[in-house]
Structure 1
Amino acid sequence: MRGVVVRGVGAGLAPAALFIGMLTGCSSDPEPEADRGKPAGGAKSAGEAAATREAKGAAKGGTVGGAGSPCALPVSFDLAVGWKPQALKDDPEFGLTRQGPVTLVCEIDAKPAGNIGFLRIWTGGRSGDDPRKALEAFVAEEAKDRDEVAYAGTKAGEYAATEVIYLNTNEFLDAPKKERAFAFTTPKGVVVVHLGGLDNEEHEGMLPAYELAKKSVRGA
């Protein structure tokens, strides 16, 4: 799955049940922007899950985005131990490095740390662009069922941001799987940080590294 963004509609697990489970793992920092109704106990469960992840944390193993980094980015943030960044170039012939208004510029591999998946960094747009709208366009190419997408306001380090949790549903998957991303706007445009994973178990295992990246975002 390295470097490839897949799209389409898939089938397998009962989507509604799986989506309820994925909400349990989302961050509880912001109040939701109320796109979808959620069970009354969901916020508490999400908070407990987020607190557990925060307690475990992810040890810092380096940074990406600053001077001398493998990826030139508008911002920098911390990487978990073992995660390896690699710069990517746009490939207009195949269109695999563009999604919505942003272009894939950096891929951070979790395999050296023992997981199968990536943090992918996408950039594009202009200063002043709405990160929520950029994120909606980003997700629209993967999440065909809008009832299984949840947005919330959050913080990415020093930046106001929007976060989304959704199910990736495409014809190349045996079953829908969890995805999440956050987006924020810098003076150089929008940045989207996306976490996927081989499957839901791998996705959950990489959440501490995702949370470390989110809370440590700062100007490059």
Structure 2
Amino acid sequence: MTRRFKSYSIAEFQAFINTLSIRRKITHLQIHHTWKPRKTDYRGEATIASMWQYHTNTRGWRDIGQHFTVSPDGLIWDGRSLELDPAGISGHNKGGIMFEMIGNFDQGEETLEGKQLDAIIAAVRVLLQKFNLTEKDIVFHREYSPKSCPGTGITKQWFLNEVQSRKIQELSDQSYVNAPQWKKSAIDWLYKERLISSEDWKKQIESSLPLWAEALVLRRIFEKIKLGRTPF
């Protein structure tokens, strides 16, 4: 018997996640690469089904190990039930959601780029927001294992920078792009403090009060509070 698997575009994945209600407490996101199969081995659903067969028939697991698989064409494939911990990092699976990226991303091998990079970063951002997590809750397999996973060609800092920087890239209002640096700094600060999201920005596009002005005021209030001063 072979399981069927469903693929999502980035937009479909976001819509799917936003409808979920999960009883299990989510504490972190795990990032892995397959190593084998490589990107060049990818054959759509057949590749996901092959991993499922290996995990269940050879390794004896109850299901495929990962919750989601990100393929070279930018699709996000479903997997293990989100109500189950992953089979990803021995001794560190409780509370995790596991992403498996198809490819060998060790140095000198394949590169995480293009649609696949867009998909993993977008999916991670959706889950960070859904479960009120931060970039500190993103875990690379190699942090708890002698393996190189998710590949020596991917540094943790580069990956986190991609997650953070793409928040700004998603802003649909060009006023951010064209704004002077002091306005951008105020907006960036709110993102860093997790006080706004790209959705918040979109709601403010038609507002008579620019978001940068609100950000600047809030920033000054927080700075005064941290110094023990009355903000008003």
TM range (shorter): under 0.3
Q: Say which structure, 1 or 2, has more relative contact order (CA 8 Å, 6+ apart).
A: 1
Higher fraction of strand: 1
TM-score (norm. length: structure 2): 0.24
TM-score (norm 1): 0.25
The answer to which structure has the higher helix fraction is 2
